[in-house]
Amino acid sequence: MASLPEDFNPYPAIETAHAPRAAYFHVPFCLHRCGYCDFALIAERDDLIPAWLAALENELSRVHQRYSVDSIFIGGGTPTHLDVSQLTQLIGLITSRFTLSAGGEFSIEANPDGLDNDRLDVLRDLGVNRLSLGVQSFDDVVLKTLERQHTRAEAIEVVHRAAERFSNLSLDLIFGVPGLSQQSWLESLSTTVALPLTHVSTYGLTFEKGTNFFQRMQQGHLAVLPDELERDMYAAAIQRLPEFGFEHYEISNFAKPSFECRHNMVYWAAEEYFAFGPGAARYVDGIRSTNARNVTRWINKWSRSEVALQESEQLNADEKIREAVFLGLRRVGGIDLARFEQRFSVQLPHYAAEILQKHVATGLLEIVDDHLRLTPEGRFIADTVISDFL
């Protein structure tokens, strides 16, 4: 990858016909930083929210025209940590530069704690049509381990209130948590499928370097679950969720028919997208760039209308191909080989012949109906298989 000059402009004017069709906005505020979280956020600094909104307005001012997009996604952090007036201001800033196309998806992430009816109502009234709830578990002991601020009962109650206002409702669960038993995980899955949801994401807990959990693991205060138990938990989700109509469409994601997360599908297809806010990563005009992760640095730079970047890089043709494979194999349906050849002018089975043949021979990859995809066995070690293509 080629690094770009310091005066690189990540907000070029793009012809409408070639502009990205998705936009991401990062809200970095939380009531509390959970011990496993390594996202770009800041906790207990609500005093910075007005300055952050002003800085975001300055960043958005670099977008010199109004674009129509098929997906808007507000992530965090905890976007719904903002109060009603702040949420109204945020969505006003977003819609001043981006118009959601007819039938488009407008998502926002939310935590159950603090998600009152006033917030739910304003989000619905301002055009949000998909809510993604960070529940993580329906076991109160596990929730305490994860340092979540809600209980099982509160999460269930919030899901029902949200479902009264949103027909597209997603929920996140985490397996592999220290102390989590298979029985507890199965009970969380059973609770999940009984709720009025359209989408479920299941993630294995990772101990990211620099997090509190990583430090506690290093000190022997948190025990990593055996690989076999984590595998059993993932296998249970793969078996259980489809029985209740949630199709396994991506390594970590399950959806009712037509409720796949359209925003994330953009990422997995290696398509371009806009992004704004601290730590936000964009892919625009063939260039990937990431905003400064430090929230106060990002605010201070943009308060002076100065671009606040962490890194930027120009992908060459080979890197674009490898990235498309890396991301495309995350989808259970895999990569359409004919469309891949049309897009990159290469035949993937020939381009990565040695890697492909190795994993086909070991039963981790397969070609079915002109699609290259992970086998059911390959999904259990997806990261290992996919990383070989980078």
Report whether the peptide linkage leading into residue 77 is cis, meaning its omega lies within 30 degrees of zero. yes
**Inside any domain, residue 9:** no
| 209-256: pLDDT as tens digits | 999 999 999 998 998 999 999 999 999 999 999 999 999 999 999 999
Residue 205: Cβ within 10 Å count: 20
Question: DSSP of 55-100, one letter per residue?
Answer: HHHHHHTT--S-EEEEEEEEEES-GGGS-HHHHHHHHHHHHTTEEE
- 350 and 244 fall within a common domain: no
The CATH code of the domain that includes 177 is: 3.80.30.20
Helix locations, the chain, DSSP H: 49-60, 84-95, 117-125, 140-145, 152-163, 182-193, 212-218, 227-243, 262-268, 295-303, 317-328, 337-344, 348-351, 353-361, 382-387
- Residue 148, burial from CB neighbour count under 10 angstroms (0-12, 13-18, 19+): buried
pLDDT of residue 9: 87
- 227 and 351 fall within a common domain: no
pTM of this structure: 0.95
- 240 and 387 fall within a common domain: no
Map residue 347 onto helix, strand or coil: coil
**Inside any domain, residue 147:** yes
- 134 and 195 fall within a common domain: yes
| 348-369: pLDDT as tens digits | 999 989 999 999 999 999 999 9
- 218 and 70 fall within a common domain: yes
Q: Are 336 and 371 in contact (CB under 8 A)?
A: yes
pLDDT of residue 390: 79
Through-space distance between the first and last CA atoms of the chain, rounded to whole angstroms: 12
What CA–CA distance (Å, rounded) separates 290 from 275?
9
pLDDT of residue 389: 86
pLDDT of residue 17: 86
pLDDT of residue 160: 98
**Inside any domain, residue 278:** no
- 263 and 323 fall within a common domain: no
Domain count for the chain, please give it.
Answer: 2
**Inside any domain, residue 276:** no
Q: Are 333 and 36 in contact (CB under 8 A)?
A: no
Query: Which of 13, 26, 17 is CA-nearest to residue 281?
Result: 26
Tokens standing for 260? Answer: 């796949």
Domain end marker among 207, 236, 268: 268
**Inside any domain, residue 280:** no
The CATH code of the domain that includes 340 is: 1.10.10.920
- 171 and 230 fall within a common domain: yes
Cα distances (angstroms) measured from residue 159 to each of 148, 201, 233, 378: 16, 15, 23, 33
Which domain does 144 fall in, by range? 16-268
**Inside any domain, residue 390:** yes
Number of C-alpha atoms within 13 angstroms, CB side, residue 62?
17
pLDDT in tens, the chain (390 residues): 556 666 788 999 898 889 999 999 999 999 999 999 989 999 999 999 999 999 999 999 999 899 999 999 999 999 999 999 999 999 999 999 999 999 999 999 999 999 999 999 999 999 999 999 999 999 999 999 999 999 999 999 999 999 999 999 999 999 999 999 999 999 999 999 999 999 999 999 999 999 999 999 999 899 899 999 999 999 999 999 999 999 999 999 999 999 999 999 999 999 999 999 999 999 999 899 999 999 999 999 999 999 999 999 999 999 999 999 999 999 999 999 999 999 999 999 999 899 999 999 999 999 999 999 999 999 999 999 999 887
What CA–CA distance (Å, rounded) separates 74 from 76?
7
Tokens standing for 222? Answer: 């948190």
Domain end marker among 268, 290, 305: 268
Q: Report strand pairing: 169-175 vs 309-314.
A: unpaired
